[in-house]
Amino acid sequence: MGMLILLTFLTYPSGLTQITEPISTRLIKNLSLVFIPACVGVFFLGPAISLQIPLLILVVVLSTLLAIIFMAMLIKVIVVATND
Amino acid sequence: MIEFLVMQWHQITATSWLIILSVIGYCIGMSVYLRSSGKPLLHPLIIGTPFIAAVLALMSVDFDQYYNANGLLNWLLGPATVALAVPLSKYLKQMSKLLPILTITVLSGGFVAAVSAISLALWLTSEPIMMLSIAAKSVTTPIAMAITQQLGGLITLITPIVLFTGITGILVAPRVFHVVGLQDERWQGLILGVTAHAIGTLKAFEKSPRCGAFSTIGMGLNGIWTSVFLVPMIQVFMN
């Protein structure tokens, strides 16, 4: 919600972009640091969940591949249709 | 509102010296990543987190203690999500002509990414908690964490899943683009942003600023779209 509110304000010409840009650039550049505490948690998961990790990896690979193929083919169809 | 602010304040003030460990782990991870010229498999999170976990195990510090001690970093997740609006607003005007195609592809791509993950997780793991923890895998981490929290999934699981999704995306996307014959870097950027979020966007910026701009749009719009449809959709499904 906060992201949408800021986006709405930024679409109107004001000095807000000049104020927010240096801060947001620095924050986005070091985004990985913010994710570290939660990411460390993966090494402390219980054995029941750890056993599921190979299956989760398979789910991620298959669904990511599927989404990329779907989007690439959809864009090809739309681009060809709009050119015709 | 006051209650919310008090909660935020408690989270920040719970920060203790253990936060230094996160900063050291991040610096080590970042230095390895930069020396490797940005190899996805040497991402700062992949290098830094095992180091921190090993130090915690050696010091006999349990994970909850460490997690609470990083209150400031956990709190920063909120402002980091909001900050994504800044690069998004920069390119939004330039892309107004392509808005119909962008909207169709982001909405359907984001939907396919989430639904395929949910269906496969239910089919392969038959554990609802796994489905709830993997559903937001294709959006950028701060948004994915917020969605997973709302769904009641495992926060500790979504972060590495999102990271692994990004790495998978940048490894398989060039091959798919080659097979499908998608040469336009604007659309390549958009797909990388929708399916591989921040990691895909970093890769897209390495290709060209235009590719990166489209990736930023894909990542931002998919983050907003997924946060809108995913939680109500799963709540209806669970009931």
Over chain B, what HEC string results? CHHHHHHHHHHHHCCCCCHHHHHHHHHHHHHHHHHCCCCHHHCHHHHHHHHHHHHHHHCCCCHHHHHHHCHHHHHHHHHHHHHCHHHHHHHHHHHHHHHHHHHHHHHHHHHHHHHHHHHHHHHHHCCHHHHHHHCCCCCCHHHHHHHHHHHCCCHHHHHHHHHHHHHHHHHHHHHHHHHHCCCCHHHHHHHHHHHHHHHHHHHHHHHCHHHHHHHHHHHHHHHHHHHHHHHHHHHHHHC
* CB-nearest partner of B120 from A4, A43, A63: A63
Same domain for A23 and A53, yes or no, is: no
Same domain for A40 and A17, yes or no, is: yes
B52/A contact by beta carbon, under 8 A: yes
**B74-84 pLDDT per residue, tens:** 888 778 778 87
**B117 contacts: CB under 8 Å, gap ≥ 6:** A59, A60, A63, B134, B135, B137, B138
CA pair distance B100, B94, nearest whole angstrom: 13
Same domain for A39 and A50, yes or no, is: no
Same domain for B77 and B103, yes or no, is: no
**pLDDT band per the 50, 70, 90 thresholds, residue A32:** confident
Q: What is the pLDDT of residue A5?
A: 80
Same domain for A32 and A53, yes or no, is: no
Q: Count of residues for chain A?
A: 84
Same domain for B199 and B227, yes or no, is: yes
CA pair distance A19, A16, nearest whole angstrom: 5
- Determine what percent of chain B is predicted with pLDDT higher than 70: 100
**Total structural domains within chain B:** 2
Average pLDDT of the residues of chain B: 86
Same domain for A9 and A37, yes or no, is: yes
Helix axis angle, B2-13 to B71-83, nearest 10°: 120
Same domain for B78 and B108, yes or no, is: no
**A35 contacts: CB under 8 Å, gap ≥ 6:** B45, B141, B159, B163
Contact B182 A66 (CB under 8 A): no
Same domain for B57 and B105, yes or no, is: no
**Neighbouring C-beta atoms of residue B103, cutoff 10 Å:** 12
Best CA proximity match to B216, nearest among B98, B85, B94, B113? B85
Contact call for residues A4 and B85 (beta carbons, < 8 A): yes
B197/A contact by beta carbon, under 8 A: no
What CA–CA distances, in Å, run from B84 to B175, B189, B221?
A: 28, 17, 10
A25/B contact by beta carbon, under 8 A: yes
Same domain for B89 and B200, yes or no, is: yes
Domain boundary among B57, B83, B109: B83
Same domain for B30 and B94, yes or no, is: no
Query: Cα–Cα–Cα angle for B189, B83, B21, nearest 5°?
Result: 100
A37/B contact by beta carbon, under 8 A: yes
A51/B contact by beta carbon, under 8 A: no
Same domain for A39 and A53, yes or no, is: no
Same domain for A51 and A37, yes or no, is: no
How far B36 CA lies from chain A's nearest CA (Å)? 17
B101/A contact by beta carbon, under 8 A: yes
Domain around B23? 2-83
Q: What is the pLDDT of residue A84?
A: 57
Same domain for A39 and A1, yes or no, is: yes
Domain around A52? 45-84
Q: What would the two tokens of residue B179 be?
A: 């097979």
The H-assigned helical ranges of chain A are 2-10, 16-29, 31-40, 47-50, 53-83
Contact B77 A34 (CB under 8 A): yes
B93: chain A residues, CB-CB within 8 Å: 11
**Neighbouring C-beta atoms of residue A4, cutoff 10 Å:** 13
Same domain for A60 and A24, yes or no, is: no
Tokens 């900063």 locate to B23
Same domain for A11 and A33, yes or no, is: yes
Contact A67 B113 (CB under 8 A): yes
Low pLDDT (below 70) residues in chain B: none
Cβ pairs A/B, distance under 8 A: 239
Same domain for A3 and A35, yes or no, is: yes
**A36-79 pLDDT per residue, tens:** 888 888 788 777 677 788 888 899 999 999 999 999 999 999 88
**B24-82 pLDDT per residue, tens:** 999 999 999 889 887 777 888 888 989 999 999 999 998 889 998 998 988 887 787 78
Measured torsion, CA atoms of residues B78, B84, B86, B89, in degrees rounded to the nearest 10:
-130
**Total structural domains within chain A:** 2
A80/B contact by beta carbon, under 8 A: no
Same domain for A5 and A37, yes or no, is: yes
Same domain for B49 and B134, yes or no, is: no
Tokens 């290098």 locate to B47
Same domain for B175 and B198, yes or no, is: yes
CA pair distance A47, A36, nearest whole angstrom: 21
Contact A39 B159 (CB under 8 A): yes
Domain boundary among B83, B108, B135: B83
